[in-house]
Structure 1
Amino acid sequence: MQEKQKKNVTTILKAAGIVVAIAAAAFLILILVLTVTEFKPAAKETLDVGGNASGTLHEGDDFSIVTWNIGYGALGANADFFMDGGKHVSTADREQVQTNIQAISEELKTLEPDAAFLQEVDLDSKRSHGINEQDAIVDEWKDSTYSFATNYKVLYVPYPIPTIGKVDCGILTLSGYEMENAERISLPCPFSYPVRIANLKRCLMVDRIPVEDSDKELVLVNLHLEAYDDGEGKAAQTKMLKQVLQEEVDKGNYVIAGGDFNQSFSNVDISMYPQIDEDLWQPGCVDVDEFGSDLNFVTDNRTPSCRSLDQPYEGADPDKFQYYLIDGFIVSSNLTVDSVETQDLGFANSDHNPVLMKVTLGK
């Protein structure tokens, strides 16, 4: 009897060992595949500019621009997200994603900006059910030019359970004026191998609009800086952003940088959006004094630009919710800021609200 029990135990241990060995081998194969297929953009890359725009820009003209993190069409009022303390990975079915993207496109048409900076635009991702959101949005922008820069491309993100899976995502700039060229500039990545292979590769996307009868350009810089790091990544990326912008200022160009900074601005009062729970995600803060007098930070603190994803917004008490002010613009001093306004959309179709700014090009 004891001999039989020993054999049973041995059999169970062998079976368990085989299962562990198979799981370990599968994990190693996955790491190998992700390593081989890792998205490795160059320090600088020239991007395609699509579409056709008939507008021309002159000194003294007004120019309006909106920045909006659209949450890949899946982070509407119904959503929470595991990285922010929520429970879910998949936050919207295909129909909901389509509804959100259509609503976002309609809002952009209502705002009628001359240009738009969009972040978290999926091309072909599991989380947004393979919908090409760039095509869906561009189709609604008639007579425009556009460029796209990839910042998150992974064959299979193997966490959590259920997994994020395939991701192909980036930032999109649209303009009613002709953009002559576009460039992707890689930002420092704070993550080391192997975490790096399944993470974002952040970047700046620089587009140039010629200014008629002038040697100046309007330089548009779309950005989405680090979110889930210890703060060093944000700092390194912000430092590089400053260098890129200062180079353009030194050329005498008009400069507008905008997007999701994942940081507040030190010159903006955010006391109306206090941190209500230290366990929730917390943004960094850009010290605007480090950018000097040639560059001005602009946002609207009357309305939050972002909400926490630790719980759905739908059905929650809005007076007890965690809000953030992390979206906005940096503009060169040769631009006059006429207005800036965050559109209060109740986070219906994204966890961010769009921020609309109007400027005048100095003569």
Structure 2
Amino acid sequence: MKRILFKLLGISGVSFGVILGSIVIFYFWASSSSYPQEKYAEVVKYKNSDFIDNNDNNNVFTVVTYNIGYLSGLTNNTAITTSKELFENNLKTVIAALKPLKPDLVAFQEIDIDSKRSFNINQANKIAEALNFAQGAIAINWDKNYVPFPYFPFSAHFKRILSGQAILSRYQIESHERIVLDRVTDKPFFYKAFYIDRLAQITKINIQGRSVILMNVHLEAFETSTRQRQTEFIQELLSQYVNKYPVLLIGDFNSTLINGNNPQPTINLLLKNPDLKSAVPQENLTDKKAMTFPSDKPIAKLDYIFYTPKTIEVVEWGIISEAKQASDHLPLMMKFRFR
């Protein structure tokens, strides 16, 4: 009897060891990256598209910021099985919304480059080619072999993820830098292992012979203290450029002026910066027409365009409602000229 018991315990122990070992192996494989890290910050030249001539007479330029939510519409981060048709239709909607504006610069957040969840379509390439952009600066912020989220059902897992931020430009991108911001602190190790990198993407773009700094950011959504540190760091970065160049600071700041669930609106740090102004005037920041999230019934402003008023003048701003529910965010547009 004892021999049988020991044998059963031995088998159970081996089985447990195999299961535990398999979980550990899966964890390390799934949370690992497989995209070449030297391509995490890359400038891409698109086919059949040329730079706008720097002798062009145009003196008004259009910039757009858009958290495209990997074209998942209102299903973003939900445990809903989606179809390829959904992503193809949302891609068509985005292209149709942006095309009439003829934007010179577009900054995207949450744009998939080669992800299973969005059927492995390079969304940056598709949009750039459809809108005849000359160049794109691509910054990878999520490169995982298998992301087991949403947790249930298993069929809804994101699986392979290659995603990031992108700046599309009709003018020459002179330089491109990818800076990883502070990571979340109050989360378990396994959460951090699969979590995205929050980025500041910094480009220098030659517009009619003038170097312009365009910073594209996507700040922490769920941990206020981390977002605070990230915002303070962005302030430090800005100080390197605001006295030398025209600067555009744009993106998804994940902070709204409305209190309630957001008792520490970190966006105030930037709104109080004397070197910056918001494309949406201060008096309009809480207007319904300035809201960007959620896209079906916008009640919060998470997306902003800031500029240096010493060197840039706003001509017009607006929310691009024609993007409909291609993402859970709406894009924000600003037309500007140099002073």
Q: Same fold (TM over 0.5)?
A: yes
Query: What is the Cα deviation at residue 340 of structure 1?
Result: 1.4
Equivalent position SS for 2:325:
coil
| Among 27, 30, 34, the residue aligned to 1:31 | 27
C-alpha change, 1:101 and 1:115, in structure 2 (3 Å) is same
Shift of 1:54: 2.4
Q: What does residue 195 of structure 2 align with?
A: 199
Could you say which residue in structure 2 is the equivalent of 1:337?
314
Select between 293-302 and 103-112 the one with higher mean Cα deviation: 293-302
Kept after mapping to 1: 8 A contact 2:202/2:215? yes
> Which residue does 1:187 correspond to in 2?
181
State the one-letter code of the partner of 1:152: W
Alignment CA distance shift 1:21-1:283 (3 Å): farther
Q: Deviations over 1:299-330 (max 9, x none)?
A: 3641420118xxxx5xxxx5xxx732100111
Rate the CA distance shift 1:125–1:289 in 2: closer, same or farther, 3 A: closer
Q: Is the 8 A contact 1:303 1:343 kept in 2?
A: no
Match of 2:107 among 113, 117, 123: 117
Which secondary structure state, in structure 2, belongs to the residue aligned with residue 248 of structure 1? coil
Residue 303 to residue 250, structure 1, CA distance change in 2 (3 Å): closer
Determine which of 122, 137, 154 is the counterpart of 2:127. Answer: 137
Q: Distance in 2 between matches of 1:246 and 1:49?
A: 28
Aligned residue in 2 for 1:208: 204
Q: Distance in 2 between matches of 1:232 and 1:40?
A: 31
1:15/1:98 CA distance change after superposition, 3 Å: farther
Residue 293 of structure 2 corresponds to residue 306 of structure 1: yes
SS of alignment partner, residue 249 of structure 1: coil
**The one of 165, 169, 194 aligned to 2:163:** 169
Contact 2:182 2:198 in 1 (8 A): yes
CA drift of 1:61 comes to 2.3
For residues 115-165 of structure 1, what are the alpha-carbon distances to aligned partners after superposition, in whole Å with 9 as ceiling and x for unaligned?
111111111112112122122112212252211110111111134132221
In structure 2, do the counterparts of structure 1 residues 136 and 36 end up closer, same or farther at CA, with 3 Å as the change threshold? Answer: closer
- Hey, what's the Cα distance between the residues in 2 that align with 1:57 and 1:240? 36
| Residue 50 (structure 1) aligned to one of 22, 45, 49 | 45
Q: Partners of 2:143 and 2:214 in 1: how far apart?
A: 23
CA-based RMSD of the aligned residues comes to: 3.4
Per the alignment, residue 263 of structure 1 pairs with 255
Return the alpha-carbon distance in structure 2 between the equivalents of residues 41 and 289 of structure 1: 31
Select between 218-227 and 181-190 the one with higher mean Cα deviation: 181-190
Q: Distance in 1 between matches of 2:324 and 2:101?
A: 16
User: Any conservation in 1 of the 2:40–2:140 contact (CA below 8 Å)?
Assistant: no
Distance 2:87 2:267 in 1: 33
One-letter identity of the residue aligned with 1:224: H
Q: Which residue of 1 aligns with 2:237?
A: 244
Does structure 2 retain, via aligned residues, the 8 Å contact 1:70–1:118? yes
Unpaired stretches in structure 1, ≥5 consecutive residues? 83-87
Q: TM-score, normalised by structure 2?
A: 0.82
Q: Alignment partner of 2:130: what SS?
A: coil
- Alignment check: 8 A CA contact 1:55 1:176 kept: no
What is the CA distance between 1:217 and its match in structure 2? 1.4
Whole-angstrom CA distance in 1 between matches of 2:114 and 2:94: 18
Identity %, equivalent residues: 24
| Contact 2:174–2:206 (8 Å) recurs in 1 | yes
Partners of 1:40 and 1:295 lie apart in 2 by 36
Among residues 124, 144, 165, which one is paired with 1:154 in the alignment? 144
- CA distance 1:93–1:143, shift in 2 (3 Å): closer
CA 1:95–1:136: 2 relative to 1, 3 Å = same
CA contact (8 A) 2:144 2:194 kept: yes
